[in-house]
Amino acid sequence: MSNIPKNIKELGFDEWFQNQVDPEKKADFEIARVLAVHKDSYELSNGANMVFAELVGKMMFSAESSLALPTVGDWVLAHFYNNDTFAIIHETLPRKSLLKRKTSGKKIDFQLIAANIDTAFIMQSLDADFNLNRLERYMVMIHEANIQPIVLLSKSDLVIREEIEDKIGDIKKIMPQLQVIPFNNKNGDGLGDVKRSLKPGFTYCLLGSSGVGKTTLLNNLMGEPLFKTKTIREKDGKGRHATTSRQLIILDNGAMIIDTPGMRELGNMAVDSGLADTFHEITLLAEQCRYSDCRHINEAGCAVLAALEDGTISEKRYRNYIKMKKESDYYEMSYHEKRKKDKAFGRLVKSVMKHKKG
């Protein structure tokens, strides 16, 4: 680690990233982190200076997909000019983790949310937004992206203590290891616990539905209201999002944090291997199925269906698992395969559920 300059080390550049850089390029370029992405420009920091930057032409025109372009939190190789007042980005370094979602439309492309996040705060509000199924879905996405999760339950000022304890209990029942922190932005209860979970040199992001209080928390952590929050509660979350841009904030204690706009379309999240971590017990069962390619829908000798039948796993959890698995498989398929599969799968699930009830 000693050959990594202290300043970029403080921004989270560690040995893992160091090993991704071609030694020849190390001499040619400066290493910098993307703090913000604007329409046609970026803000970078090399630890010493914050500079505005643009992409080198080659990068702009040859990128096969949006995945190759820098996003907030990325490390890049750049040339700095004019006493570090302007920079050109030449390359995005490999990422430790990446949060992305599929863009709507036929072509499979991605919107990058943030890169190189160590820990995600998944926020749900205790009053209206709390939903275990959705929490499970966030967990899958987080595992897939190679990120540690911490759950924040906001607006604890709006519910009685028993309700807070019940909800934490419900989460711990299915995910006992998960760290869960109740807090509120109104009288500051629990804010100390949130602050203590933020470690210098590590990068965090705030995830959760629109209106749960992500930006309000960030403003509280910074000690000044730098960012716009919602002034009117929108019950159904259908209104415009208060947060639209993404930026990496460096807190006083040296922890870094990225706010994100609330996402309603969790179905568009890219999910894959995280499935195994979130549905650990079902994954173990699946290893005992007679067929290695068992879908656990109607196959003979299926250990998952057997566990469902004898009540070892609940129907609700089974349904969630199948739904996530479907999304996960779906994500791997081409568009044409998808259209065919969609109809067939729908019929299959319907017939299984009917069969089970009867």
Ligand X SMILES: Nc1nc2c(ncn2[C@@H]2O[C@H](COP(=O)(O)OP(=O)(O)OP(=O)(O)O)[C@@H](O)[C@H]2O)c(=O)[nH]1
Helix residue ranges, H only, the chain? 6-10, 15-18, 23-28, 57-62, 132-144, 161-174, 191-196, 214-222, 274-278, 280-286, 303-309, 315-332, 335-357
Residues in contact with Zn ion by CB under 5 A are: 289, 294, 296, 302, 304
Helices vs strands, H then E, count in the chain: 13, 13
| Count of residues that interact with Mg ion, criterion CB under 5 A | 4
Report what 213 binds from ligand X, Zn ion, Mg ion, none; CB cut-off 5-8 Å by kind: ligand X
User: CB of residue 174 vs Mg ion: minimum separation in angstroms?
Assistant: 28
**Applying CB under 5 A, which part among 41-49, 182-190, 240-248, 311-319 lies near Mg ion?**
240-248
Report what 158 binds from ligand X, Mg ion, Zn ion, none; CB cut-off 5-8 Å by kind: ligand X
Q: Could you give the angle at the alpha carbon of 148 between the alpha carbons of 144 and 154, nearest 5°?
A: 110
User: CB of residue 258 vs Mg ion: minimum separation in angstroms?
Assistant: 11
- Residue 53: name the closest of 23, 25, 91 by CA: 91
Report what 179 binds from ligand X, Mg ion, Zn ion, none; CB cut-off 5-8 Å by kind: none
User: CB of residue 230 vs ligand X: minimum separation in angstroms?
Assistant: 4
- Residue 92: name the closest of 25, 170, 156 by CA: 25
Q: Which two tokens stand for residue 139?
A: 């967990």
Under a CB-based contact definition with an 8 Å cutoff, are residues 78 and 29 in contact? yes
Under a CB-based contact definition with an 8 Å cutoff, are residues 183 and 192 in contact? no
Q: Which residue has the tokens 């932005």?
A: 185
φ, ψ of residue 148 to 5 degrees: the values are -80, 140
* Contact positions with Mg ion (CB under 5 A) in 191-220: 214-215
Q: Does position 243 bind Mg ion by CB under 5 A?
A: yes
Report what 87 binds from ligand X, Mg ion, Zn ion, none; CB cut-off 5-8 Å by kind: none
User: CB of residue 235 vs ligand X: minimum separation in angstroms?
Assistant: 11
Choose, by CB under 5 A, the member of 11, 242, 263, 308 that binds Mg ion: 242
| Residue whose CB is less far from ligand X, 138 or 321 | 138
Measured CA to CA, the distance from residue 320 to residue 353 in angstroms comes to 13
- Residue 253: name the closest of 191, 197, 199 by CA: 199
Under DSSP, is residue 349 helix (H, G, I), strand (E, B) or coil?
helix
User: CB of residue 347 vs ligand X: minimum separation in angstroms?
Assistant: 37
User: CB of residue 276 vs ligand X: minimum separation in angstroms?
Assistant: 29
| Residue whose CB is less far from Mg ion, 55 or 205 | 205
N-term to C-term CA, the chain: 63
In angstroms, what CA-CA distances link 195 with 42, 199, 253, 257? 28, 9, 9, 12
Report what 296 binds from Zn ion, Mg ion, ligand X, none; CB cut-off 5-8 Å by kind: Zn ion
| Residue whose CB is less far from Mg ion, 213 or 274 | 213
User: CB of residue 350 vs Zn ion: minimum separation in angstroms?
Assistant: 18
User: CB of residue 102 vs ligand X: minimum separation in angstroms?
Assistant: 19
In angstroms, what CA-CA distances link 199 with 17, 32, 65, 250, 263? 19, 21, 33, 11, 26
Report what 302 binds from ligand X, Mg ion, Zn ion, none; CB cut-off 5-8 Å by kind: Zn ion
Report what 32 binds from Zn ion, Mg ion, ligand X, none; CB cut-off 5-8 Å by kind: none
Residues in contact with ligand X by CB under 6 A are: 154-155, 157-158, 184-186, 210-216, 229-231, 233, 241-243, 261-262
User: CB of residue 297 vs Zn ion: minimum separation in angstroms?
Assistant: 8
| Residue whose CB is less far from Mg ion, 71 or 243 | 243
Q: What share of the chain is helix, strand, coil (3-state, %, to 5)?
A: 35, 20, 40
**Applying CB under 5 A, which part among 38-46, 145-153, 161-169, 235-243 lies near Mg ion?**
235-243
- Residue 145: name the closest of 119, 171, 121 by CA: 119
Site of interaction with Mg ion (CB under 5 A): 214-215, 242-243
